[in-house]
């Protein structure tokens, strides 16, 4: 029954509350908590099938708001005229409990069908239409019931000498706050979606039965709305505000109020961690602000001017508060860091910083929003409008805000322009604009000054000597390309640097080539996530391979040519990228709906803490990928160990193995600070055939052979040497871990804590893995030459010792000191496994560094390397 528009505007009564009234407030509290909990549950379930594109996100939100408005409007008169409103309220709560629980059980079953119904690459009309009408139809009975519960509850407790309207708003909004925080921080992480839905249904059921028991046998006199709210209820002079103007004020306040929330969340997402907890905190601050403002209104309404002039002054305050909150957004990047500076780093300080930034930006305007809506609520009653009618108008307009502000104004005008237009919208709502004493002129002057003096409202961290190559305020995120002083370009999404750059090299090539070389003859490959486009265009250089790429943000696809030109020059970079069929779509929905099958599917490094990314690591998504593989196909899921803790990794591995029990792990690079792991599996082909791998590593095209060499994949040791764990080792590692799933989104709720306050370093996590994981040739290869298997086993053992050496060696700026520490250990590794070429990289680099000081030692070191690796040319090894 709670929306972000009308239902959240509240006030506390000045009248003394008795036991029966307190029971009504508790019902409103519980009902409000359930309303937000249901919204979180359904939104998460629907996004798994409809996608995380802005189309689907806004469609689900619009369907939810639309249902609330329909219910409040359709039942406004029948509830107002009912002599037994408790029966209505009880019945509505029972409907919410039954339909809500049934829908939460049904949606996971419908997920594949809904995704396929929309299609992999639908037209805009098909996508918009189905993404809106499918949720609207599925949710309509329950959201309509939610929209009518508050008017029914207010009607039940009306009378007894005082109205509980403001108090019920207050309790309902407090419940919404508790529901928001409780479901995100406690219920879903501990219980999962289905168990949380069951708890919500039980609470709705309890609310309905309690209302029926409390009002058993009670009949209320049937009276028109005006009788309950005389023409000057609470001192409000209704005659001064026409019904048409009142409807405009109700609609305008809903539209602009939610519009400001959309704007603030979009801007703050550039300075917060943008986790599920970030969104919960922002929403809680918004609800608390409106509640506090309306509570103040209840206490002070007797002192407020109730006519047009008083309402105009309130709207003037709202313009000033909006400008004040908006001004704080320019300092949000500094505000969010204050708690960490005061109390030290940690999860609590990080969350406090996000809440503080939200309080500065949303506190002042939402406080006045609550005051204004409380005034409008009394005006509506005085103008013989039902509470349901007022809520319907306000909520219906609020449903348009994400479309008009988020989709329309922010991409068109930028965040600064949208902020100014919202403030101007509030100013335009003022009755008697030009009248003296209306409070119009001061807000207008400040609005003009803000427009003239403020810079664009955006955050882009520039390195020394850096510049912005491109910037776009997209519908879902701000996307920029930033070049540093060395000419290296990097992709920023919401001011966060993404993996890869225009200087991307061997590691990024391996992310594409390593899984592709494990397949005997791939003809079609799918990349989930494009980023800078470097990895996908490496794959596209194979003329026999058709490459499809899926990227959620269209602005990222549009930025890819900048990196292609920087990496490969105007002609070659563009031609490789042009061979990629890039699709702007949600990866989960695309995998569900794509009609074609793929020989290789490669999933990018999705940061697990970011909102929505956890759904790409679930058992259900991995199963959908398996179904999209052609016979003998291979799936590789890349994982950035520096972005997750070990428990998050265990949950992802458990989900992967639940679908691919023969899954194995590879190490993309030997980096100690940014280690990248890969989970690989080929259903029906648990082990690889050595001759087929050798054939893949010797393509007839010279360009492809050179490309493989630049990625350190010259031979079978470069390829199979990346193996880090077999399926048995992974099974032991994941034993007892929570399987990340759609119902138990463990990663979504666990990964942010490792981002806010990591308990270990990437080096420590890597050491834990290499100490506990093991790999055997028999798990990777079909029976092969025993001599080769022994050499491969030695390679893996040496790789483990190489990593342990790096972890144990303290760095020193003096290359002579580093050579003294590393020369003999690394030469010893090469004696044990001459094929282990990574050990030569630091030795060659150190030889070059000491040559000006000790050329004899440098030459002797190079001769030793040549004796140990006679087949290796004396050139820099690109690995």
State the catalytic residues: 604
DSSP bridge partners of 481: 470, 491
DSSP bridge partners of 676: 640
Q: What SS3 class is residue 528?
A: strand
**Taking the mean position of all CA atoms in its chain, how far away is CA 784?**
46
DSSP code of residue 836: -
Q: Where are the beta strands (DSSP E) in 11-103?
A: none
Between CA 775 and CA 454 the distance in angstroms is 59
DSSP bridge partners of 497: 492
- Residue the block writes with tokens 């002042």: 364
Q: What SS3 class is residue 584?
A: strand
CA atoms within 13 A on the CB side of 201: 18
CA atoms within 13 A on the CB side of 508: 18
Q: What SS3 class is residue 451?
A: helix
- Residue the block writes with tokens 């800078």: 532
Contact 121, 10 (CB under 8 A): no
Containing 651, the helix (H) or strand (E) segment is helix 646-659
Six-digit token string for 615: 């759904």
Q: How far is CA 663 from CA 73, 630, 641, 701, in A?
A: 55, 17, 18, 31
Per DSSP bridges, beta strands 580-584 and 546-551 are: parallel
DSSP bridge partners of 470: 481
Between CA 430 and CA 442 the distance in angstroms is 13
Contact 290, 366 (CB under 8 A): yes
DSSP code of residue 43: H
Contact 626, 659 (CB under 8 A): yes
Three state DSSP letters for 332-357: HHHHCCHHHHHHCCCHHHHHHHHHHH
Helix and strand numbers, DSSP H then E, in the chain: 36, 12
| Per-residue burial over 90-122, b = 16 or more CB atoms within 10 Å of its CB, e = otherwise | bbbbbbbbbbbbebbeebbebbbebbebbbbbb
Contact 557, 582 (CB under 8 A): yes
Q: Please name which of 110, 103, 192 lies closest in space to residue 146, comparing C-alpha atoms.
A: 103
Six-digit token string for 466: 């850096």
Q: Please name which of 494, 568, 571, 492 lies closest in space to residue 531, comparing C-alpha atoms.
A: 492
Q: What SS3 class is residue 760?
A: coil
């Amino acid at each position: 029954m709670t929306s972000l528009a009308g239902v959240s505007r509240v006030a506390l009564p000045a009248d003394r509350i008795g036991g029966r009234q307190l029971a009504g407030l508790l019902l409103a509290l519980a009902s409000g908590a359930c309303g937000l909990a249901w919204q979180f549950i359904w939104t998460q379930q629907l996004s798994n099938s409809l996608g995380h594109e802005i189309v689907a996100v806004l469609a689900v939100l619009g369907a939810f708001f639309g249902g609330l408005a329909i219910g409040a409007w359709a039942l406004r008169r029948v509830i107002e005229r009912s002599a037994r409103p408790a029966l209505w309220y009880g019945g509505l709560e029972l409907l919410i409990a039954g339909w809500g629980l049934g829908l939460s059980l049904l949606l996971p079953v419908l997920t594949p069908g809904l995704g396929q119904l929309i299609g992999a690459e639908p037209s805009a009309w098909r996508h918009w239409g189905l993404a809106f009408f499918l949720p609207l139809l599925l949710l309509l009975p329950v959201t309509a019931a939610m929209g009518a519960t508050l008017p029914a509850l207010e009607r039940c407790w009306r009378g007894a000498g005082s109205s509980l309207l403001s108090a019920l708003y207050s309790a309902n909004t407090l419940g919404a706050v508790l529901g928001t925080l409780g479901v995100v921080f406690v219920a879903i992480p501990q219980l999962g979606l289905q168990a949380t839905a069951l708890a919500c249904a039980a609470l709705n059921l309890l609310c309905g039965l309690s209302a029926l028991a409390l009002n058993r046998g009670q009949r209320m006199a049937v009276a028109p709305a005006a009788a309950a709210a005389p023409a000057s209820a609470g001192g409000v002079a209704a005659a001064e505000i026409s019904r048409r103007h009142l409807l405009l004020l109700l609609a305008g306040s809903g539209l602009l109020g939610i519009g400001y929330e959309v704007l603030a969340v979009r801007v703050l997402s550039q300075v917060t961690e943008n986790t599920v907890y970030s969104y919960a905190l922002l929403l809680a601050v918004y609800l608390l602000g409106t509640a506090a403002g309306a509570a103040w209104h209840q206490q002070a309404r007797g002192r407020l001017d109730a006519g047009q002039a008083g309402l105009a002054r309130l709207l003037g305050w709202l313009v000033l508060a909006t400008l004040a909150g908006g001004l704080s957004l320019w300092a949000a990047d500094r505000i969010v860091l204050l708690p960490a500076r005061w109390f030290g780093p940690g999860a609590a300080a990080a969350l406090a910083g996000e809440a503080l930034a939200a309080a500065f930006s949303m506190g002042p305007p939402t406080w006045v929003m609550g005051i204004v809506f409380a005034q409008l609520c009394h005006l509506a009653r005085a103008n013989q409008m039902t509470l349901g009618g007022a809520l319907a108008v306000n909520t219906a307009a609020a449903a348009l805000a994400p479309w008009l502000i988020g989709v329309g104004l922010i991409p068109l005008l930028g965040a600064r322009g949208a902020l100014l237009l919202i403030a101007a919208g509030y100013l335009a709502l003022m009755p008697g604009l030009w009248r003296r004493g209306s409070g119009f002129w001061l807000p207008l002057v400040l609005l003009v000054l803000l427009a003239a003096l403020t810079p664009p409202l955006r955050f882009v961290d520039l390195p020394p000597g850096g510049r912005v190559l491109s910037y776009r305020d997209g519908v879902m995120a701000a996307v920029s390309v930033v070049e540093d002083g060395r000419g290296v370009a990097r992709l920023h999404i919401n001011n966060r640097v993404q993996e890869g750059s225009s200087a991307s090299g061997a590691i990024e090539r391996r992310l594409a080539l390593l899984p592709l070389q494990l397949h005997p003859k791939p003809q079609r490959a799918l990349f989930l996530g494009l980023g800078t486009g470097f990895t996908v265009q490496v794959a596209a250089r194979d003329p026999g391979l058709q490459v499809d790429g899926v990227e959620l943000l269209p602005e990222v696809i549009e930025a890819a040519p900048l990196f292609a030109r920087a990496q490969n020059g105007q002609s070659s970079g563009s031609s490789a990228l042009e061979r990629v069929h890039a699709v702007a779509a949600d990866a989960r929905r695309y995998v569900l709906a794509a009609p074609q099958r793929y020989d290789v599917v490669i999933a990018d490094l999705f940061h697990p803490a970011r909102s929505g990314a956890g759904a790409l690591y679930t058992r259900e998504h991995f199963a959908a990928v398996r179904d999209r593989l052609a016979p003998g196909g291979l799936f590789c899921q890349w994982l950035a160990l520096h972005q997750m803790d070990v428990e998050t990794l265990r949950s992802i591995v458990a989900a992967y193995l639940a679908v691919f029990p023969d899954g194995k792990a590879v190490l993309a690079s030997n980096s100690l600070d940014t280690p990248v792991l890969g989970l690989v599996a080929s259903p029906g082909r648990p082990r690889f055939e050595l001759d087929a791998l050798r054939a893949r590593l010797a393509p007839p095209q010279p360009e492809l052979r050179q490309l493989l060499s630049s990625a350190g994949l010259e031979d079978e040791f470069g390829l199979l040497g990346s193996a880090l764990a077999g399926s048995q080792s992974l099974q032991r590692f994941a034993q007892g871990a929570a399987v990340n799933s759609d119902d138990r989104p463990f990663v979504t709720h666990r990964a942010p804590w490792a981002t806010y306050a990591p308990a270990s370093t990437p080096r420590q996590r890597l050491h834990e893995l290499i100490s506990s994981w093991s790999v055997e040739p028999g798990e990777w290869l079909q029976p092969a030459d025993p001599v080769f298997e022994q050499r491969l086993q030695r390679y893996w053992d040496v790789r483990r010792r190489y990593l342990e050496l790096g972890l144990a060696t303290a760095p020193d700026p003096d290359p002579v000191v580093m050579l003294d520490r590393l020369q003999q250990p690394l030469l010893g590794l090469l004696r044990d496994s001459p094929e282990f070429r990574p050990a030569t990289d630091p030795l060659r680099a150190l030889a070059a560094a000491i040559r000006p000081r000790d050329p004899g030692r440098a030459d002797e070191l190079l001769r030793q390397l040549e004796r140990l690796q006679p087949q290796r040319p004396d050139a820099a090894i690109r690995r």
